[in-house]
Structure 1
Amino acid sequence: MGATINEFLKHLNDSGILSSADLLAVDAQIPEKLRTRDSQGLAKELVRTKKLTVFQADAIYSGTPQGLTLGNYVILEKIGAGGMGMVFKAEHRRMKRIVAVKVLPPTALKNPAALKRFHREVEAVAKLTHPNIVAAYDADESKGVHFLAMEFVEGIDLARHVKQHGPLPVETAVGYILQTAHGLEHAHRQGIVHRDIKPANLLLDTRGTVKILDMGLARFQEGANAAAPVDEATVLTQNGSLMGTVDFMSPEQAVDSHLADHASDVYSLGATLYFLLIGQPLFGGTTLMARVLAHRETPAPSLRAARPEIPPQIDSIYQRMVAKKKEARYPSMADVIRDLSDWANVSPVQPLSASSDNIPTNVIDAIFDD
């Protein structure tokens, strides 16, 4: 047997989800003789009447209402989890705005380096206001829990989109890459490198806008002519392992995470273009090390070898983006935008929004998946 109705009401009160008036209204409807019964029926009714979400009702019924509120935010449901925390869908109490809340796990609070890394992520994301970057709204701490409130995106990430629909038409793929390049160009001008560009970190909303997710691997650049020092800011991004996703990682990043810069984002974006057009990563390999070595040593395959209908100009742009040596790549994301825009015959100044036909709307459960 789960919680009795009396216990459920106590947990509901402890959760802080409902207002005093709503709590009194619920309480007044329950006869005294029923209060020792199982509360499952009450929980289902509160979900049916939209007083609670299924996630909230389950937490209250199981006697774990703690954490259903964070400062001004009411947690609605769990979205996912990643290396730096859990992510929830939430609502701001006063503004009624739906957001995604990223929460640092309690165990990480014991590690000062992880906490500093989290705050650096907050600082990085707060700098970035751009239609092609997931917006940061708020950062706070509540009862020892540190969290970041971000834009909630309805849509699907590009990895899932390709998995569901197969390789994309050339015009569509180029449009998505152009949008991403606009967002990255803005970030680079702020001195921020993403370091983990991949299809799963690109969210396609229901209007066809691509939004870059997860600046948690961002690195602050000390200046165009200065080598980044191996200081606390750099160490925090490493977390004891290679940072980035192997299938989209630049050769220099695979050697040393400290070497990742704007040119690494150019490479990863080129590898992402390959995935969108071909439907698989740039290089195969049964082991992680085999794929790392391929990025360092194996020539990039031609797009036209797999899809002859791809225009030679697009293949040439892609080949330059994924050049092994940084100096052979495009010198800036603005140069990528220029060449892709020339082919697409659009202005390089404005982000390009691609068609959103038949885009599923369940992306947010993928956010921050490793």
Structure 2
Amino acid sequence: MPAPTTVQGFLELLRKSRLADPDRLEPYVLRLKAEAGLPNRPRELASQMLKDGLLTQFQARQLLKGRWRGFVFGKYRVLEQLGSGGVSSVFLCEHTLMRRHVAIKVLPAFRAQDASTVARFYREARASSSLNHPNIARAFDVDQEGQIHYIVMEYIDGSSLHDIVRRHGQMDVLRACNYIRQAAVGLQHIHENGLVHRDIKPGNLILDRQGVVRILDLGLARFYAGEGGPDNLTAQFDKGSMLGTADYIAPEQAMDLHAADIRADIYSLGATFYFLLAGQPPFEGKSITQKLVLHQMKAPEPVTVYRSEVPSELSAIIDRMLKKKPSERFQAPAEVVKALEPWTQNPLPPPPEVEMPRLCPAAMINKPAENLLQAFNLSGSGIRLRAAAGEAAAMGGSQKATPDAVRAAKDPLADTSETFLPVANPGDTSVEHPAAADTTTRAPHAAAPPTSPTESKRHPSRRVRAARKKLVAHRGRALSPMTLLVLVVASGLLAGLGSGLLVWSVTSHAAERPALNYSTAPEE
């Protein structure tokens, strides 16, 4: 439907969308008319409704684009978009009867045509629902509305560790130790329940307002033991694939997905620890292929190069977590917890409010209308507004603030490339979020290989696959300096690709890129 050009047209779309309760909307419109008259343009009315708590930013932007379908599905009303990836998006939603906030991960209809994508989606729901731990985000339900599959998850009001570091700089040593310890405790629970996460990174660790860290996004997790024996979905669909995030992927996981066990998660947690203290991942600024090579061949610079105050004993713990051979690392997350005890004896205060997301009045619960405008400028529970650091911190790749994020920070109703997946279609270019680099961290490969030189430049998956074959060919023995040089130089062709989340498959199935992460900044 075309974008509304009149205020009446905007109001008609709003009524059709079922976003606003008629018992509240109609008196509101009458009051505006009586006080100063309705604004002259749809954008002005949307801005007023945003301030008065009738619409969220996401809702207002979608209505201004003429989109009114899909805001309500099942028992839930869409409030905001929290993250977006190449396969799915996560929305903050409200239960229409209970008024409870949840995060809903949506798989759009056109993605549901791929069997491996659907299988991964339901495996994620099964993995999440099998876990019950204070350091792991919970999944409540999985359902289907028409052709739309969705997972209902716990909404966590907080920021990812990736966002916090990218926006506020290197983290205090004791805070970093405390947060990594909490993540390791959650990983131990995952390990004890027969799971491997396979995508631990700063964007998948979210810190709430009370200082509790939770592990997000089990989109790449697999069962390695349990009632039905090892999970065969990986063998069925993942053969010959690389799944993970280039900045944090363990060497053995890049070589062979089946070889990844809990020690691969410990490696990724060590790279995350490095990021918190150094302010950058171990191999910052390199192309995807270079990072894969370096994870195999070279130890990163000691974290003390960037933070001289880090104790040598703590630097040694990080070095051990990042050992190339799994047998030389800590063998279970509980060992990491034990090693960090000297720095985690005392409880920490809650994180500074400046690190937490700001609020949107329409997304708050049980706030009197007269207090909504005041609440917009205070802290409390609600939903984040877009920050200039970028949208969707679940991808992979160090990026500065995206143009969309900068525009949204200056103007809450700025036109952005956000996705509304419940009503998206394959031809809608807004569906593919621009390499949400941790927001989004897995770049989907083309369903069909490029056939023309132009396409080849646009989709360099062939080069990635070729580089991976070279790596696999040399697996188990050291690369010669000349071979390594050739690989690194050749990878320069990929430098423009960015360091997003990596799911380059050497088979023809569509690789999944999750968007479970609630944070809003790009990531390695």
* Superposition TM-score tier, normalisation by shorter sequence: 0.7 to 0.9
Contact map agreement 1:175 1:354 (CA 8 A) in 2: no
What displacement does 1:249 show?
Answer: 1.0
Q: 1:232 aligned to 2:233? A: yes
Aligned-partner Cα distance in 2 for 1:257–1:354: 39
Which amino acid in the other structure matches residue 301 of structure 2? Answer: P
Q: Please point out which of 124, 138, 141 is paired with 1:138.
A: 141
What 5-or-longer segments of structure 1 have no aligned partner?
A: none
Q: Which structure would you say has the larger RCO, counting Cα contacts within 8 Å and 6 or more residues apart? A: 2
Contact map agreement 1:209 1:354 (CA 8 A) in 2: no
- Change in Cα spacing, 1:204 to 1:140, as seen in structure 2 (3 Å) is same
Aligned-partner Cα distance in 1 for 2:155–2:310: 34
The aligned runs of 1:1-370 (5 Å cut-off) are 2-4=4-6, 7-19=9-21, 21-22=23-24, 25=27, 43-222=46-225, 231-236=232-237, 238=238, 241-284=241-284, 286-341=286-341, 343-344=342-343, 346=345, 355-362=350-357, 365-368=391-394, 369-370=439-440
Aligned-partner Cα distance in 2 for 1:50–1:303: 46
Aligned-partner Cα distance in 1 for 2:260–2:206: 23
What displacement does 1:30 show?
Answer: 10
What displacement does 1:8 show?
Answer: 4.0
Which amino acid in the other structure matches residue 335 of structure 1? Answer: E
Which amino acid in the other structure matches residue 19 of structure 2? Answer: I
Aligned-partner Cα distance in 2 for 1:318–1:326: 14
Aligned-partner Cα distance in 1 for 2:85–2:47: 30
Contact map agreement 2:198 2:260 (CA 8 A) in 1: yes
- Change in Cα spacing, 1:65 to 1:250, as seen in structure 2 (3 Å) is same
Count of aligned pairs between the two proteins: 357
> For each residue in 1:270-319, what CA deviation from the matched residue of structure 2 results, as whole angstroms up to 9, or x when unmatched?
11111111122212463222211111111343333443432232122222
Which amino acid in the other structure matches residue 316 of structure 2? Answer: S
- The alignment's TM-score, normalised by the length of structure 2, stands at 0.62
Q: Secondary structure at the match of 1:247?
A: coil
What displacement does 1:220 show?
Answer: 1.0
Which amino acid in the other structure matches residue 146 of structure 2? Answer: K
Contact map agreement 2:102 2:153 (CA 8 A) in 1: yes
Contact map agreement 1:5 1:39 (CA 8 A) in 2: yes
- The alignment's TM-score, normalised by the length of structure 1, stands at 0.85
Which amino acid in the other structure matches residue 12 of structure 1? Answer: L
- Change in Cα spacing, 1:221 to 1:317, as seen in structure 2 (3 Å) is same
Pick which of 128-137 and 16-25 moved more: 16-25
- Change in Cα spacing, 1:353 to 1:188, as seen in structure 2 (3 Å) is farther
Aligned-partner Cα distance in 2 for 1:190–1:295: 28
Contact map agreement 2:78 2:94 (CA 8 A) in 1: yes
Percent pairwise identity:
37
